[in-house]
Structure 1
Amino acid sequence: MSTKNPRLSFSRAQGRQPEHKILAIPGPVEVSNNVLEALAQPPLSHVSPDFTRIFQEALSLSRKVVGSQNGQPFVIAGSGTLGWDQVGANLIERGDKVLVLNTGYFGDGFKDCLTSYGAVATILMAPSPGETVPLAAIESTLAGQKYKLITITHVDTSTGVLSDVHDITKVVRRVSPSTLIILDAVCSAGCEDIKMDAWGLDIVLTASQKAIGALPGLSILIASPRAIQTYSSRITPVQGYYASWKKWLPIMEAYVAGKAAYFGTQPVNLVRALTEALKELMKDGEEGLAKRIEAHRKVARRLRAVAAQLGMKSLATQGAEAAGLTAIWVPEGLTASEILQKAGAKGVVFAGGLLADVKDRYIRIGHMGVSVTDEARGDTNRITDVLYSVINELLAEKRMDRATTEI
Structure 2
Amino acid sequence: MIPGPVEFDPEVMRALGAKTASHVAPEFITVFGRALKRLREVCLAPSAQPFVVSGSGTLAMELAVANLVEPGERALVVNTGYFSDRMALLLTRYGAEVTQVRCAPGEAPDVAAVESALAGGRFKVMTVTHVDTSTGVLAPVEPLVRAAGRHGVLSVVDGVCATAGETFHQDAWGADVYLTASQKAIGVPPGLALLTVSPRAMAAWRARKTPVRSLYADLGEWLPIMEAYEAGRPSYFATPAVNLVCALDVSLGQILREGMEARFTRHRRMAKAFRAAWRALGLKTLPVSESVTAHTLSALYYPEGVDAGVIARVREQGVVLAGGLHPELKTRYFRVGHMNVVGPGDVLASVGAVERALVAAGHRSEPGVAVAAAQAELLRAG
Task: Name the structure 2 match of 1:392.
Answer: 359
Task: Name the structure 1 match of 2:136.
Answer: 160
Q: Say whether residues 1:299 and 2:270 are aligned partners.
A: yes
Task: Name the structure 2 match of 1:169.
Answer: 145
The structure with the largest alpha-carbon Rg is 1
Mapped to 2, the partners of 1:171 and 1:244 lie a distance apart of: 28
Runs of 4+ in structure 1 deviating by more than 4 angstroms, as ranges, are: none
Mapped to 2, the partners of 1:355 and 1:45 lie a distance apart of: 42
Mapped to 2, the partners of 1:80 and 1:149 lie a distance apart of: 19
Mapped to 2, the partners of 1:52 and 1:380 lie a distance apart of: 38
Query: Match of 1:90, as an amino acid?
Result: N
Query: Match of 1:311, as an amino acid?
Result: G
Query: Match of 1:328, as an amino acid?
Result: L
Aligned-residue offset at 1:396 = 5.6
Mapped to 2, the partners of 1:202 and 1:289 lie a distance apart of: 20
Using the size of structure 2 for normalisation, the TM-score is 0.93
Task: Name the structure 2 match of 1:332.
Answer: 304
Task: Name the structure 2 match of 1:257.
Answer: 231
Mapped to 2, the partners of 1:304 and 1:218 lie a distance apart of: 31
Task: Name the structure 2 match of 1:275.
Answer: 249
Query: Match of 1:331, as an amino acid?
Result: P
Task: Name the structure 2 match of 1:198.
Answer: 172
Tell me how large the CA RMSD over aligned residues is. 1.2
Give deviations 1:51-107, integer Å, cap 9, x for gaps. 001001111111111111121110000001111111222111100100000001000
Query: Match of 2:227, as an amino acid?
Result: E
Q: How does 1:226-241 map to 2 (within 5 A)?
A: 226-241=200-215
Give deviations 1:261-305, integer Å, cap 9, x for gaps. 111111111111111110000014xxx211111111111111111
Q: Say whether residues 1:34 and 2:8 are aligned partners.
A: no
Using the size of structure 1 for normalisation, the TM-score is 0.87
Give deviations 1:130-154, integer Å, cap 9, x for gaps. 1111011111111111100000100
Q: Say whether residues 1:139 and 2:111 are aligned partners.
A: no
Q: Say whether residues 1:105 and 2:79 are aligned partners.
A: no
Mapped to 1, the partners of 2:65 and 2:252 lie a distance apart of: 27
Give deviations 1:94-129, integer Å, cap 9, x for gaps. 001000000010000001011101011001102x11
1:310–1:391 Cα contact (<8 Å) kept: no
1:161–1:320 Cα contact (<8 Å) kept: yes
Give deviations 1:204-257, integer Å, cap 9, x for gaps. 000110011111100000111111111111001111111111211111111121
Could you say what secondary structure the match of 1:319 adopts? helix
Could you say what secondary structure the match of 2:122 adopts? coil
Could you say what secondary structure the match of 1:356 adopts? coil
Could you say what secondary structure the match of 1:382 adopts? helix
Mapped to 2, the partners of 1:131 and 1:56 lie a distance apart of: 40
Give deviations 1:131-186, integer Å, cap 9, x for gaps. 11101111111111110000010000000100111111222222x1x210100000
1:129 to 102, 105, 113: 105
Mapped to 1, the partners of 2:154 and 2:148 lie a distance apart of: 9
2:145–2:174 Cα contact (<8 Å) kept: yes
Could you say what secondary structure the match of 1:35 adopts? helix
Query: Match of 1:382, as an amino acid?
Result: A
Count of equivalent residues: 363
Give deviations 1:347-392, integer Å, cap 9, x for gaps. 11111111122211111100011123xx5xx322211111111111
Task: Name the structure 1 match of 2:380.
Answer: none
2:228–2:234 Cα contact (<8 Å) kept: yes
Could you say what secondary structure the match of 1:52 adopts? helix
Query: Match of 1:344, as an amino acid?
Result: R
Change (3 A) 1:96 1:396: closer
Query: Could you list the runs of 5+ residues in structure 1 that have no partner in the other structure?
Result: 1-23, 398-407
Q: Say whether residues 1:53 and 2:24 are aligned partners.
A: no
Query: Could you list the runs of 5+ residues in structure 2 that have no partner in the other structure?
Result: 365-382
1:105–1:354 Cα contact (<8 Å) kept: yes
Query: Match of 2:25, as an amino acid?
Result: S
Among the aligned pairs, what percent are the same residue? 44
